[in-house]
Amino acid sequence: MAVIIDGKKIADKILDEIKSKVSKLENKKPSLAVILANDNPSSALYVNSKEKKSKSIGFNSFVYRFDKEVEQGTIKNLIIKLNNDPNINGILLQLPLFNHLDERELIELINPKKDVDGFHPINVGKLNCGLKPYAKCCTPKGIIRLLKEYSIELTGKNALVIGRSNIVGKPVAAMLLNENATVSVAHSKTKNLKEHTLRADIIISATGCAHLIKADMVKKGSVIIDVGIVKKDDGTLLGDVDFENVKNVAGFITPVPGGVGPMTIASLLENTYELYLEQLEN
């Protein structure tokens, strides 16, 4: 049976390390500003969780909540204010936004040096050029960290990323390529997904299609990273991967919940701390 990758444990380790460093700071604490401009209950939950974790490790956390009447200009003005505020180290625009808002304009308005999500084109570009972005996208960063924590070799391995979002699929593909994996990206237009999955040494699935990946689709001993999360009507959480059956074939596998999820928040707070240190120096 596969080794179950314990994202919760690694995330707690990262957060404990940051908490310990923050407790020793004599000057001001790292500060994260979160903008919530939608009425999606999941987003509200994520934002509450980020706020709670931020405070638990000694960060300042500021959440700006808007109702559906909010205008683009109001959020633009807030971002400009936060960009210029020396007491704010990281700015997170919780996605998705209300439909009437222009997400791209707002993402590109965030100062790349405070872009804690790594979504600004200049940070995306640096990542893709093999350079150091100010911050790396949180979920992909968390995935690479998990693979490294379990000493999973990446050089020369066939890695398959399923899903090509700007938030997970494309940046994790770029990071795997930077780590010398041979990287393939499959998506909704891919034909014969199973042919691709069966060849992969490492599969990162980020589609949101519950139980897309079945046991007969994966190679024995492969590494399976499940980024999907779907909530059923009865409250059960399902990933992209049919965990109970795939774990009998895979070599390593992340559970849902408790795999990638906790790493996303840990990476976010790690990014905030790193931006804080960089801004202190300048």
Q: Which residues bind its own copies (CB under 8 A)?
A: 104, 120-126, 128-131, 155-156, 164, 166, 170, 174, 177, 180, 182-187, 189-191, 195-196, 199
Question: 121 is written with which tokens?
Answer: 């084109």
**Least CB distance to its own copies at residue 241 (A):** 20
**Least CB distance to its own copies at residue 204 (A):** 14
Q: What is the DSSP string of 85-117?
A: -TT--EEEEESSPPTTS-HHHHHHHS-GGGBTT
Q: Which is nearer to its own copies, 21 or 164 (CB)?
A: 164
For residue 193, how far is the Cα from the chain centroid? 24
Asked about 94 being catalytic, the answer comes back as yes
Using a 10 angstrom Cβ sphere, with 0-12 exposed, 13-18 middle and 19 or more buried, the burial of residue 124 is buried
Q: Is 18 helix (H, G, I), strand (E, B) or coil?
A: helix
Q: Compute the distance between CA of residue 59 and CA of residue 188 in angstroms, rounded to an integer.
A: 40
User: In this structure, which amino acid lies at residue 196?
Assistant: H
Of 6, 50, 141, 201, catalytic: 50
78 φ, ψ (degrees, to nearest 5): -65, -45
**Least CB distance to its own copies at residue 139 (A):** 16
Length reported for the chain: 282
Q: Which is nearer to its own copies, 155 or 236 (CB)?
A: 155
Q: Which is nearer to its own copies, 76 or 164 (CB)?
A: 164
Of 6, 53, 94, 247, catalytic: 94
Q: Which is nearer to its own copies, 193 or 256 (CB)?
A: 193
Taking a C-beta distance cutoff of 8 angstroms, is the pair 210, 256 a contact?
no
Asked about 50 being catalytic, the answer comes back as yes
**Least CB distance to its own copies at residue 126 (A):** 5
- Residues marked active site are found at 50, 94, 117
